[in-house]
Amino acid sequence: MFDFINITKGLADENRVRILLALNGREELCVCQLMDMLQLAPSTVSKNLFILRNARLVPGRNEGRWIHYRLDTEGAPAEAVGALEWGIRSMAADPMIRKDAVRLREQLSDKTTAKCSP
C-alpha cells in the first residue's frame, strides 16, 4: 500500500506532473532549471521533488550546491510507469505543458543566464 499511496500522491499535483513531463526525454534537469520553468519558490519545488523521490519516480544527483534529477522508469514500480506513460500521452497537447517545453528549451539554449550546468 505504501507504494500505491506515494505514487498516487506524486501524480496528483499539477506541478509534479509538469516536473515529470519536463524530465521526460531529457537526461536530467537541475532544481534551478525546474524553478525557472515552474516559476515557483525553491522550497515549493523542493517539496514537490521530495514527493516524487518518495514515489521512486525521480532520483537526484548532487553536483556542488545543486541537485540534478532525472526520470527513472527503470527503478519505479511498473504501475507507476504505466500511469506516467498514460500521463505523457494525455498531456502532450496541454497548453501549459507546451508553454513549459518552450520555456525550458529557451532556458537550456541560453547559456549566459544559466545558474547551473546540467
| pTM of the predicted structure, to 2 decimals | 0.89
Task: Indicate whether 9 belongs to any domain.
Answer: yes
Half-sphere exposure of 11 (CA within 13 A, CB side): 19
Q: How many domains does the chain have?
A: 1
For the chain, the first-to-last Cα distance in angstroms comes to 35
Task: Indicate whether 79 belongs to any domain.
Answer: yes
With a cut of 80, say whether residue 118 has pLDDT above it.
no
**Amino acid letter, 82:** G
pLDDT-derived band at 74, boundaries 50, 70, 90:
confident
Domain extent, residue 58, equals 2-107
CATH of the domain at 94: 1.10.10.10
Task: Indicate whether 118 belongs to any domain.
Answer: no
Task: Indicate whether 116 belongs to any domain.
Answer: no
Which segments of 11-114 are extended strands (E)? 29-30, 60-63, 66-69
